[in-house]
């Protein structure tokens, strides 16, 4: 059950996954300045403000999210408690520095496509309802249709295998090339289903992995996540908290590796592999075990089934430089 201290967005708006756990992980102290790096429909921001945050800086690369923000949380905008920035969260340290807001007390990141984007057929993220093959979070750059209709078969297969972990990526790519031109999500889903086989009662639609892969590729989501974690490291004060929600293994692996490395939890040496020279001082500690949604939350929101929350606390050590962070 959602705590009364955490306001639920109005009916019809998306309630973010693991909202109580994120607020708890950020341990909000009244008056603090926090960052919601993935503003979306404003659910985390509302919860953070409701928990006592003095100010929230909300980032989103989607112009629609920024444009709709004042309607979602008008009181916070009017009072100056919320500032919205149309920018990738990987740029947060630069933007915060320009506004003289560094360091901040906590950062929340909800990785991947937002329900607001997913539920709009015209954005082309989902095959649940037919729409144009778009999938661009920022509404600029190469669209899914442009990529699929112009990339060669090998490149399409690489993307599907690498970002969708699809075992039969080559078969899917071959079918896509044979079916070109493709312009609609329903067309693409039908091609994938035919290539992989589809029947009623399947637990997961066979088109899911390919749609995920194309979206991740077009929006450079994994690169954005890696850069965003480094930006968060540079933005947090000593004792500041980081909370990251991921939705599939590729994302979770990046967050897990980042926090393990930054906490100094590197493998010990052996007679086969000598111990590496000491690296930078740990920039994060108190790495919590990953948290998954409760059964009650899964009953409310089946989309939350693969979500994982990882939290950590910033130390007083300097942020690692790019070379040593690799």
Domain hosting residue 190, numbered range: 139-218
Q: pLDDT tens, 276-291?
A: 566 799 999 999 999 9
Question: pLDDT tens-digit profile of 24-36?
Answer: 999 999 999 999 9
Dihedral-angle region of residue 284 (phi above 0 means left; psi in -120 to 50 means alpha; beta otherwise): beta
Residue 244 lies in a domain: yes
Is 130 within the bounds of a domain?
no
- The answer as to whether 124 is a domain residue is no
Residue 184 and residue 163 share a domain: yes
- Are 70 and 51 members of one domain? yes
Please indicate, yes or no, whether residues 238 and 182 belong to a single structural domain of this protein.
Answer: no
- H or E segment to which residue 82 belongs: strand 82-86
Both 240 and 318 in one domain: the answer is yes
Q: Do 186 and 240 belong to one domain?
A: no
- Looking at beta carbons, which pairs linking 219-222 to residues 24 or more positions away fall under 8 Å? 219/135, 219/136, 219/137, 219/138, 221/111, 221/112, 221/251, 222/163, 222/250, 222/251, 222/254
CA atoms within 13 A on the CB side of 292: 7
Residue 325 has a pLDDT of: 44
Residues ≥6 apart with Cβ < 8 Å to 289: none
CATH number at residue 152: 1.10.150.170
The whole-model pTM stands at 0.89
Angle at alpha carbon of residue 3, lines to 35 and 303, rounded to 5°: 70
Among 218, 242, 258, identify where a domain stops. 218
pLDDT tops 90 at residue 107: yes
Would 294 be classed as within a structural domain? yes
Mean pLDDT of 169-196: 97
Q: Are residues 257 and 231 in the same domain?
A: yes
Structural domains in the chain (count): 2
Q: Assess if residue 3 is contained within a domain.
A: no
Neighbours of 56 (CB within 10 A): 27
- 13, part of any domain: no
Q: What CATH code is carried by the domain that includes residue 250?
A: 3.40.50.150
**149 and 298 part of one domain:** no
Q: Based on the domain organization, do 143 and 174 belong to the same domain? A: yes
pLDDT computed for residue 7 by the predictor: 42
């Amino acid at each position: 059950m959602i705590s009364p201290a955490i306001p639920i967005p109005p009916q019809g708006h998306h309630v973010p996954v693991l909202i109580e756990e994120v607020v708890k992980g950020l341990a909000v102290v009244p008056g603090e300045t926090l960052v919601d790096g993935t503003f979306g429909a404003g659910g985390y921001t509302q919860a953070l403000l409701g928990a006592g945050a003095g100010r929230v800086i909300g980032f989103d690369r989607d112009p629609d999210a920024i444009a709709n923000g004042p309607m979602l949380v008008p009181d916070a905008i009017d009072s100056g408690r919320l500032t919205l920035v149309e920018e990738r969260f990987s740029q947060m340290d630069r933007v915060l520095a320009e506004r003289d807001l560094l360091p901040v007390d906590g950062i929340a990141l909800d990785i991947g496509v937002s329900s607001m984007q997913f539920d709009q057929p015209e954005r082309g993220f989902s095959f649940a309802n037919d729409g144009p093959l778009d999938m661009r979070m920022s509404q600029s750059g190469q669209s899914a249709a442009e990529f699929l209709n112009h990339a060669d078969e090998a490149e399409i297969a690489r993307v599907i295998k690498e970002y969708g972990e699809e075992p039969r990526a080559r078969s899917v790519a071959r079918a896509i090339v044979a079916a070109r031109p493709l312009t609609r999500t329903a067309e693409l889903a039908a091609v994938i289903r035919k290539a992989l086989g589809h029947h009623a009662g399947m637990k997961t639609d066979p088109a899911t992995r390919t749609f995920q892969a194309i979206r991740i590729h077009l929006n450079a989501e994994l690169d954005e996540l890696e850069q965003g974690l480094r930006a968060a490291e540079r933005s947090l004060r000593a004792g500041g908290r980081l909370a990251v929600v991921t939705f599939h293994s590729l994302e979770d692996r990046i967050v897990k590796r980042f926090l393990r490395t930054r906490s100094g939890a590197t493998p010990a040496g052996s007679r086969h592999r000598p111990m590496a020279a000491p690296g930078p001082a740990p920039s994060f500690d108190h790495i919590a075990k990953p948290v998954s949604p409760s059964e009650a939350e899964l009953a409310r929101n089946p989309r939350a089934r693969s979500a994982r929350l990882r939290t950590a606390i910033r130390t007083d050590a300097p942020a690692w430089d790019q070379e040593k962070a690799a």
